[in-house]
Structure 1
């Protein structure tokens, strides 16, 4: 059972989630939580501001004050001891002072910074469950066995993760049964040993990875909408939930702009053949969306419409391509060398039109695009000389 940030945004919401979990008395789920509300955004903003604020002013950052007040206030409202997160708050402030001292926020440090949100939310929720008599145990995924690449802020999960996670969770359950409360989109770089993240929304991928690793009966992703919709309600308010999807449909929709699921999250579920149910934690009676390997498509005309904004499109047009072989291969090798993912491609004899994944264009997007054009221009010149 994975719960997003809006589902655990306050003490009241945490009580609701605890009650929701207890409404499945025959189940002993693995529970995964995102950071509370807007915590991740606030942490990132605090990091950006710390770069230029000076070490003596870090404690006065509005974003840091917001994070402290939200979590300490939640503990007070739940009747829990504040000391549960004192150590993490001290560590967070020291990290921000280090960022201010170095006047630099690297991708590696950014991942470390945002990890505090989920580390605190899971500790608070674990303490709540134990208080109401439900035995629970907290886990940080970077210590649980989630092994990733070292591409900070957007890593991939390595295959070694599955046996490591299964061994740890099975072993702990056999020795001392307790509901696991797990952080979301965090891992540990296999070379660096540093905390990494799967990118925004990556806790969906963490949930399906655990589902596959343990061979679970079902993965439930609890959001603040009634399932996967026919389109974004911000675009059309009368969008409706779609009751059934296939893994391939859900992955395609997510990749091309649907906000409900992480684009990569369907892969482990499909490989492990574990159904995924998208439910609404604010409206638990809503049937939600069930995602499986196959579904009846006989009466299906249109599934859903998605919109992807901020697309970068490149048009490469030259008569020098006419009749040439190997040109496409060399164009795509340029994107491979620069680490840029291509979304869509259309070609003719003298042109290539393609769109680039905005999440793969780094903050120095203009520099990246200049590198692309310089490389493609050199390629066109080389073909004209043949």
Structure 2
């Protein structure tokens, strides 16, 4: 069986953690072909990517020595771990390579300070260095544990467009390049350790894949290599029925459908970013969420099919603003909804939820709180004429609300689900401000006040005995 597995920043954040990773990989390769994807190291007192990005911004403010200041700390962190996991000859070769990488970035910092400008292209060079360093460290650690291994920069595998900071893969070219480079390594019994988060344009200019980029790398490679399964090693036992900080009795879900995982990811379950699932869904490749620190736990299996229960999990998005556009003249006013959405898009705001009453006299939508003010400003400009004619009379904003989402593909066609949700809200004395449900019936979303958010999650979790 061919498996692509990804280890997150905390899973590779110390010598002990990397030792666990080496043990997991060593055991897995006894029966599987294994490709490893890694994030940058997140040590308790030093988050590599955050440190590099801060150095880049400091350089743009004129501090040409910003990277030179942090380079010794980064080198000490990684070489200290290497000394515990790899033989001296491996450590010497690794140190030479890491010093060269950090020296190059220090030179780039000085250039940025002279120019006084940090371009997205230059920032990608900084933010992707942590993965490049860590891949080499982990490959050395694997070799030290007796596992043949080689670090591979994803800049030579994942071909992207040139949207620096949030690039998208060109899948056909990526698949061809990945198979050409990685399949011979697998056939020889070696374990490729691939840098997450980064790629490169057709011209070879480094890019990054944006939020959730290391997970995305794993799914891209899983699809490109026709993997039998893709495993994401996290710091939790799998996908839970709710946030355990809010619902202490939350339990691990053994199985989820692709659609359920996508809904949960979108609505705040920070296990996988929604776009991560897409390449694997298209190829029907199963996904496992596993715990690096508890590898015996079976975790959560995500695949095709439909859930056999009504609701599977409840989650929430916080720091949300709800905007309501209303007025008597909106009834039958052609194209007003399209104009509302166009204005919000022009503001660069992400619409999380939409609701409209059948009277057509109001449209409400929820956006991240940080994007609310710009969305309202664009709406006022877009609808200025309608305000003058009193067709639109108000744009109201609730700045402190929470979207609570009840997810489960088994809810589709099952009577009484909404009744149980709202019954739970009524029994808990919680006012529901707005409601939305898609035609797939995989998700019922409610807007409640921020102070009621946790209570709403707990009440729904109890109601469905999750």
Q: What interval of TM-score do these two structures reach, taking the shorter chain for normalisation? A: 0.7 to 0.9
Deviation at 1:171, TM superposition (A): 5.1
Return 5+ residue gaps in structure 2 as ranges: 393-466
1:40 equivalenced with 2:49 (yes/no): yes
1:67 equivalenced with 2:79 (yes/no): no
Distance in 2 between the 1:376 and 1:68 partners? 56
1:15 equivalenced with 2:19 (yes/no): yes
Deviation at 1:177, TM superposition (A): 4.8
Deviation at 1:88, TM superposition (A): 1.1
Of residues 25-34 and 276-285 in structure 1, the stretch that sits farther from structure 2 once superposed is: 25-34
Larger radius of gyration: 2
8 A Cα contact 2:252 2:299, kept in partner: yes
8 A Cα contact 1:321 1:383, kept in partner: no
Distance in 2 between the 1:241 and 1:169 partners? 37
8 A Cα contact 1:211 1:269, kept in partner: yes
**Aligned residues, how many?**
375
8 A Cα contact 1:257 1:307, kept in partner: yes
**RMSD of Structure 2 on Structure 1 (CA):** 2.7
**Residues 52-201 of structure 1 mapped to structure 2, 5 A cutoff:** 52=61, 54-56=63-65, 58-60=67-69, 63-78=70-85, 79=87, 80-81=91-92, 82-144=95-157, 146-169=158-181, 172-173=184-185, 177-189=189-201, 193-201=204-212
2:258 match: 247
TM-score (norm: length of structure 1): 0.87
8 A Cα contact 1:135 1:178, kept in partner: yes
Distance in 1 between the 2:128 and 2:119 partners? 14
1:235 equivalenced with 2:246 (yes/no): yes
1:26 match: 31
1:3 equivalenced with 2:7 (yes/no): yes
8 A Cα contact 2:286 2:301, kept in partner: yes
1:375 match: 382
Query: Structure 2 residue aligned with 1:264, among 272, 275, 279?
Result: 275
Deviation at 1:357, TM superposition (A): 5.3
Distance in 2 between the 1:84 and 1:133 partners? 21
Distance in 2 between the 1:123 and 1:228 partners? 30
Deviation at 1:34, TM superposition (A): 0.6
Deviation at 1:114, TM superposition (A): 0.9
Deviation at 1:201, TM superposition (A): 2.1
Distance in 2 between the 1:265 and 1:32 partners? 14
Pick closer, same or farther for the CA change 1:376–1:138 going to 2, 3 Å: farther
8 A Cα contact 2:350 2:368, kept in partner: yes
8 A Cα contact 2:343 2:378, kept in partner: no
Deviation at 1:382, TM superposition (A): 9.0
8 A Cα contact 2:56 2:66, kept in partner: no
- Greater strand content: 2
Of residues 277-286 and 262-271 in structure 1, the stretch that sits farther from structure 2 once superposed is: 262-271
Query: Structure 1 residue aligned with 2:225, among 204, 214, 226?
Result: 214
Distance in 2 between the 1:369 and 1:50 partners? 35
**Residues 226-375 of structure 1 mapped to structure 2, 5 A cutoff:** 226-297=237-308, 300-337=309-346, 339-348=348-357, 349-356=360-367, 370-375=377-382
